[in-house]
Structure 1
Amino acid sequence: MNSLRLRQQVYGWLLAGPFVLTLVVFFLYALVRTVYFSFTDYDLFSEAAWVGLANFKALLTDQLFLLSLANTIWFSLIVTCVQTVLALGLAILVNSKIRAKGFFRTAFYLPSILSSAAVTLIFIWFYQKNGYLNGFVTDVVNHFPHLSCFVAVAVATQFVLVTKDRLKGLPVGWFDPAWAILSVIVAAIATLVAGVMGWVEVSNEIVEVNWLNTRDHVGPMPLTLWAIVIQNIYTTIPTFMLLFLAGLQGIPGELYEAAHIDGANKWQQHWNITIPQLAPVTFVVVTFSIIGTLQMFDQVALLGSAAPLESRITLAYYVYHNAFPPGGTPQIGMASAAALVLAFITLAVVYLQKIFGVKEKADG
């Protein structure tokens, strides 16, 4: 009996051995070394000199560190909120009864399996002055009168048609598809006529927004980081959508049937059933998103010289920039101190999210 238990333990350690070794070498050992170097002045070439809390004090007066700290916090807050809402919306969409459901699930999930380096290079081209985004914005600005005319006529026509049916006592929704198709046709014809008659005209403005190679701020962050926000959301939403989709398929259909019998509309059903029942999944999504955005590095690093350092710096990249400065002396002590600050912020935010944020358990 003892020999059998011993063999089981040996087999267990053999299976867990590679993971335990990796954990010890690349996490525990690295953590201890990082803590030690954070209290030293070390440049990889000479002996480490003990300086105590000097590195942490230097961080508080380093404008680049303070800028990276602000950028990281705002980036994490904005991306986490936006991608959580959009991921939930996409999950509800692909979980509903629509045609070609498999195609849309595959199409929405595709960005998450693409190489981060390849996507970043594509987005660098996408954000060029003569790239697709500026071309798209230019077309929208030049055809804004036509778009405004189309939207105004479509909304007015839909309102008139639906109101007419409602006055007759018919249960018609404001987005009734039959009337919506007719409203779009009427709006298209009206816009075409307005263009032919010269009531609306195309302008010839050229929009050249400098998305990357700029130090301009838009709101709380540099414009470059807003561009990275779009890229990060594009590549991360599919994974979170899949998590939400798995959670949606675990919600009993009887809850929605009972709510429908009680007269609840779709919005009320999602607000009172879907969101509370998805609390555990939402907790996981928000936690993963916070950790990922606080430690976001690759997309910033791959931009390279396409954007100024001040416009794309984050805490994770600040650590790398101090450890491997281009053409400078490595500052391992500063990098280690900043890495510990990043780790502390990540743990603190996740812990606060667990206490005051999304609940881990769904409502009974």
Structure 2
Amino acid sequence: MLRRGQTPAALLFLAPFLITTAVFFFYAFGRAIYYSFTDFNLFNDPRLIGVKPYADVLGDPSFRRALANSLVFAVITTTLQTVGALLMAVALNTRIRGMGFFRSAWYMPSITSSVVITLIFLWLFQRRGVANYLITQWQAFQPLILTFLGVLAAAQVAQVLWERSRRLPAGWLDPALAATSALLAVAVTAALAWTGVVAAREVPPFDYQYFADRWISVGGVRVLSVPMLVVIIQNTFTTIPTLMLFFLAGLQNIPGALYEAADIDGATPWQKLTRVTVPMLRPVTFYVITVGRIGTMQMFDQVAVIGSAAPGDTLITLAYYVYSNTFKAGAAPVNMASAGAIILALIILVMVAAQRRFFPSEAP
């Protein structure tokens, strides 16, 4: 509890935060609400016109496409990054030598500039980028790769069956047997390649335009564009390490006695993950999903950096729709941009409220 003499000092230290919040949140939000009911276009005096800007926004095909893109992006990305962050946290929660290095290395994408990573992904997915090059190499060396995998699988199955016939415990993924199978597969593949039985083949360069007007459709309805799929991959790659830290902190608070009891009951690793880890991490999962959904619904920077490299409707999101309407050349429809921003805020609010209502955060 603050004493009377400490209150001015506390307010002084809080002043920068309070002023920033008041100006750039409350004032800006209030102005956006006001502009959403006017005819403001940056060059005129605002005049109240009722809900017409909202009707114009809802009737705008670009807004409907932006809404669909944002919802699809939010659902897919939030799912992928939540599952990926959980699995990565479980993997990094083990106590083995060098784990500190791997934790730091896997966190690097989260502290790298999203603009830089977007430019890297633009380079990776060009027509002559790394992605098409790797696919070309896969097609060229497919006979050798399939031979290696076939011999590997056959050798592993043969060794496991042999060990079990001798009444020895052997799993299908036994590391020692897998190492022997891999060495045998390398030797057989090399011998077949040296004798000319199996060889790489000549194939034309794989030519696919990832940032073209290409769509994944369901029942004739455009659901997900290929450029948006690239952005989903990038966003998942950069966000998983940050969310992994929350899961990792939650894993530290799960009592070890629960896992010991599961071991006594003969639970498998999958059963321990689904019956112990996931239920105990429900509060953390609720927070991760909430933060992830809000962030994905507000996704802007990747679309802005890619810009004209992809057709507009393939990547437009609600946040970019608001930005593009605010900074259009000439008399920009700021009233429509403000209405779009308010609709985006309401959508996020409804999504969070529904999550709190139907998916409680309390652990069992």
2: CA distance between counterparts of 1:228 and 1:28?
31
Counterpart in 2 of 1:209? Answer: 208
2: CA distance between counterparts of 1:218 and 1:195?
39
Distance apart, 1:356 and its partner CA? 1.7
Counterpart in 1 of 2:357? Answer: 355
Counterparts in 2 of 1:177 and 1:189: CA distance versus 1, 3 Å: same
Counterparts in 2 of 1:16 and 1:161: CA distance versus 1, 3 Å: same
- Of residues 19, 22, 26, the one that matches 1:24 is 22
Distance apart, 1:217 and its partner CA? 0.6
Counterparts in 2 of 1:169 and 1:271: CA distance versus 1, 3 Å: farther
- Of residues 245, 250, 265, the one that matches 1:247 is 250
Greater shift, 236-245 or 12-21, is seen at 12-21
- Of residues 227, 238, 241, the one that matches 1:238 is 241
- Of residues 297, 302, 307, the one that matches 1:304 is 307
Counterpart in 1 of 2:160? Answer: 162
Greater shift, 195-204 or 146-155, is seen at 195-204
2: CA distance between counterparts of 1:316 and 1:114?
22
- Of residues 221, 226, 229, the one that matches 1:226 is 229
- Of residues 330, 333, 336, the one that matches 1:334 is 336
**1:214-239 deviations in whole A, cap 9, x for unaligned?**
11112421111111111111111110
Letter in 2 for 1:307: A
1: CA distance between counterparts of 2:363 and 2:276?
10
1:288 and 2:291 are equivalent in the alignment:
yes
2: CA distance between counterparts of 1:215 and 1:187?
42
Preserved CA contact (<8 Å) 1:84 1:240: yes
The count of aligned residue pairs is 357
1:137-148 alignment runs, 5 A limit = 137-148=135-146
Preserved CA contact (<8 Å) 2:143 2:198: no
2: CA distance between counterparts of 1:6 and 1:254?
48
Preserved CA contact (<8 Å) 1:143 1:203: no
Counterpart in 2 of 1:79? Answer: 77
Counterpart in 1 of 2:320? Answer: 317
2: CA distance between counterparts of 1:229 and 1:118?
16
Greater shift, 201-210 or 238-247, is seen at 201-210
2: CA distance between counterparts of 1:173 and 1:258?
24
Q: Secondary structure at the match of 1:218?
A: strand
2: CA distance between counterparts of 1:98 and 1:131?
37
Distance apart, 1:159 and its partner CA? 1.8
Distance apart, 1:171 and its partner CA? 2.5
Distance apart, 1:246 and its partner CA? 1.1
1: CA distance between counterparts of 2:249 and 2:164?
38
Counterparts in 2 of 1:149 and 1:98: CA distance versus 1, 3 Å: farther
Letter in 1 for 2:319: A
RMSD over equivalenced CA pairs, Å: 1.6
Q: Secondary structure at the match of 1:49?
A: coil
1:112-123 alignment runs, 5 A limit = 112-123=110-121
Counterparts in 2 of 1:203 and 1:261: CA distance versus 1, 3 Å: farther
Letter in 1 for 2:361: E
**1:146-186 deviations in whole A, cap 9, x for unaligned?**
22222222122212212222333322222110001011112
Q: Secondary structure at the match of 1:341?
A: helix
1:260 and 2:259 are equivalent in the alignment:
no
2: CA distance between counterparts of 1:308 and 1:30?
31
Preserved CA contact (<8 Å) 1:141 1:205: no
Counterpart in 2 of 1:103? Answer: 101
Distance apart, 1:318 and its partner CA? 0.3
2: CA distance between counterparts of 1:302 and 1:323?
17
**1:294-338 deviations in whole A, cap 9, x for unaligned?**
00001111112222211110000000010012x343110000000
Gaps of 5+ in 2: 218-222
2: CA distance between counterparts of 1:64 and 1:194?
57
Counterpart in 1 of 2:197? Answer: 198
2: CA distance between counterparts of 1:66 and 1:245?
38
Letter in 1 for 2:292: S
Counterparts in 2 of 1:355 and 1:153: CA distance versus 1, 3 Å: farther
1:346 and 2:344 are equivalent in the alignment:
no
Q: Secondary structure at the match of 1:41?
A: coil
Q: Secondary structure at the match of 1:221?
A: strand
Q: Secondary structure at the match of 2:43?
A: coil
State the identity %.
43
Counterpart in 2 of 1:152? Answer: 150
1: CA distance between counterparts of 2:350 and 2:266?
43
Preserved CA contact (<8 Å) 2:136 2:205: yes
**1:99-132 deviations in whole A, cap 9, x for unaligned?**
4212211111010010111111111111111111
1:271 and 2:271 are equivalent in the alignment:
no
2: CA distance between counterparts of 1:54 and 1:195?
71
TM-score (norm 1): 0.94
